[in-house]
């Protein structure tokens, strides 16, 4: 990793996210008959062909999960089986050959073991893993894919600090519609979203709040985070309607938030209802969540026509602390979510 690990000044808090990559990756290939053994290879040797489905037709899917050091110094992956199952679902939606759960987890374990020296101490960061499945081979047409590549890239990252965001409720562009790719973790969704992010940033917002494709009335998700809003003593998050990603962090929070004494509901986040709740004084905090950021507080969602201001009720901070303990191996009630490396 570009010298950072060898540097005696190595400070986990300065790693950020996604900026440093491990020199090695774990990779396997599928030739149409079955998956090869996993191999440890130089990351720089992995390159999907230009004249192939991954580059030309966005035929690739990915995952993002983290490995943490627990208080006793042990190392675990957080909820790798749920990530493995989601990669299978994403691959199936795109028509790709899935990798089975065992190969997925073994690839992650090997990637972590090869980079243990880069794993920050307990509480100060993680190894972010990026398992990727793509169509391999050279062919300039769309056909049933034969050759596939699976690889696990790795990036040491800081413990995320709780950010505060203003989101642009995008009034024209959409990210996903029913029957589309919204529930798949695939680059095509990011391709659909980049122009919206640029628009948001040009207007001084931090990220996009994507709305539903039918009538642009309901919050769907942020660029790479699922959304939660508190209204009174209810904590609401949009249902898994096929247009949003089934976030592992979202699912974890649906378990953890019960400890806050809140009533949880997967329910549409209708903009009009949120504005009404704001007028009535019962609109609480809002936040986005995902593996990379953990939790990001949302102060405001709006565009040129309206602005919804969320309360600062301390809930994002409290849930972030609960989630951090569950992820990092400090809250043994969630030991079932840890996979020892």
Ligand X SMILES: *Cc1c(COP(=O)(O)O)cnc(C)c1O
Q: How far is CA 192 from the centre of its chain?
A: 16
> Among 249, 263, 260, which residue's Cα sits nearest to residue 221?
249
- Tracing tokens 């600090």 back to the chain, one arrives at 161
Nearest approach in angstroms of CB 86 to ligand X is 7
Task: Count the residues of the shown chain that bind ligand X, applying the rule CB under 6 A.
Answer: 14
For ligand X, the closer of residues 69 and 130 by Cβ is: 130
Kindly indicate which of the ranges 158-166, 223-231, 299-307, 332-340 contains the residues binding ligand X, using the contact rule CB under 6 A.
223-231
> Residue 143: which residues within 8 A CB-CB, separation 6 or more?
none
Over the window 164 to 203, marking each residue x when it contacts ligand X by CB under 6 A and - when it does not, the resulting string is: ---------------------x---x--------------
For ligand X, the closer of residues 80 and 247 by Cβ is: 247
248 contributes a contact to ligand X by CB under 6 A: yes
> 274-312 burial, b for 16+ CB within 10 Å, e for fewer?
beebbeeeebbbbbbbbbbbbbbbbbbbbbeeeebebee
132 contributes a contact to ligand X by CB under 6 A: no
225 contributes a contact to ligand X by CB under 6 A: yes
Contact 64, 193 (CB under 8 A): no
269 contributes a contact to ligand X by CB under 6 A: no
* Residue 238 structure tokens: 């949009």
What residues numbered 46-105 form the site for ligand X, per CB under 6 A? Answer: 64
| Separation CA 204–CA 201 (nearest Å) | 5
Kindly indicate which of the ranges 68-76, 143-151, 165-173, 243-251 contains the residues binding ligand X, using the contact rule CB under 6 A.
243-251
If one counts every other C-beta atom within 10 angstroms of the C-beta of residue 327, the result is 23
> 118-142 burial, b for 16+ CB within 10 Å, e for fewer?
bbbebbebbbbbbbbbbbbbeeeee
Find the binder of ligand X among 97, 155, 291, 327 (CB under 6 A): 291
For ligand X, the closer of residues 119 and 225 by Cβ is: 225
221 contributes a contact to ligand X by CB under 6 A: yes
327 contributes a contact to ligand X by CB under 6 A: no
Kindly indicate which of the ranges 4-12, 31-39, 220-228, 274-282 contains the residues binding ligand X, using the contact rule CB under 6 A.
220-228
For ligand X, the closer of residues 24 and 126 by Cβ is: 126
For ligand X, the closer of residues 4 and 246 by Cβ is: 246
Q: Where are the alpha helices (DSSP H) in the chain?
A: 53-57, 80-94, 101-113, 187-202, 248-256, 271-280, 315-328
Binding site for ligand X (CB under 6 A): 64, 185, 189, 221, 224-226, 245, 247-250, 290-291
């Amino acid at each position: 990793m570009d010298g950072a690990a060898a540097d005696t000044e190595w400070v986990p808090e300065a790693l950020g996210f996604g900026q440093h990559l491990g020199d090695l990756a774990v990779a396997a290939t599928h030739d149409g008959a079955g998956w090869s053994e996993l191999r440890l290879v130089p990351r720089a040797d992995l390159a999907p062909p230009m004249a192939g489905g991954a580059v030309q037709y966005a035929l690739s899917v990915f995952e993002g999960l983290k490995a943490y050091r627990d208080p006793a110094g042990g190392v675990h992956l957080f909820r790798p089986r749920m990530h493995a199952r989601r990669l299978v679902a994403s691959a199936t939606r795109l028509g790709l050959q899935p990798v089975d759960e065992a190969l997925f987890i073994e690839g992650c374990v090997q990637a972590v073991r090869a980079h243990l020296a880069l794993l920050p101490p307990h509480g100060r960061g993680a190894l972010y893993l990026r398992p990727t499945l793509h169509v391999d081979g050279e062919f300039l047409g769309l056909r049933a894919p034969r050759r596939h590549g699976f690889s696990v890239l790795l990036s040491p990252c800081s413990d995320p600090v709780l950010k505060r965001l203003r989101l642009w409720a995008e009034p024209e562009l959409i990210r996903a519609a029913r029957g589309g790719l919204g529930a798949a973790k695939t680059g095509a969704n990011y391709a659909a979203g980049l122009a919206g992010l640029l628009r948001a940033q040009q207007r001084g917002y931090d990220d996009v709040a994507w709305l539903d494709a039918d009538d642009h009335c309901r919050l769907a998700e942020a660029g790479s985070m699922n959304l939660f809003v508190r209204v009174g003593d209810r904590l609401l998050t949009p249902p898994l309607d096929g247009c949003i990603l089934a976030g592992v962090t979202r699912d974890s929070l649906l378990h953890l938030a019960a400890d806050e004494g809140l009533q949880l509901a997967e329910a549409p986040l209708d903009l009009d209802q949120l504005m009404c709740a704001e007028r009535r004084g019962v609109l609480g905090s809002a936040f986005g969540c995902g593996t990379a950021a953990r939790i990001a507080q949302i102060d405001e969602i709006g565009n040129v026509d309206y602005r919804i201001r969320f309360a600062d009720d301390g809930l994002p901070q409290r849930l972030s602390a609960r989630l951090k303990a569950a992820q990092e191996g400090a809250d043994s009630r969630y030991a079932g979510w840890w996979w020892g490396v």
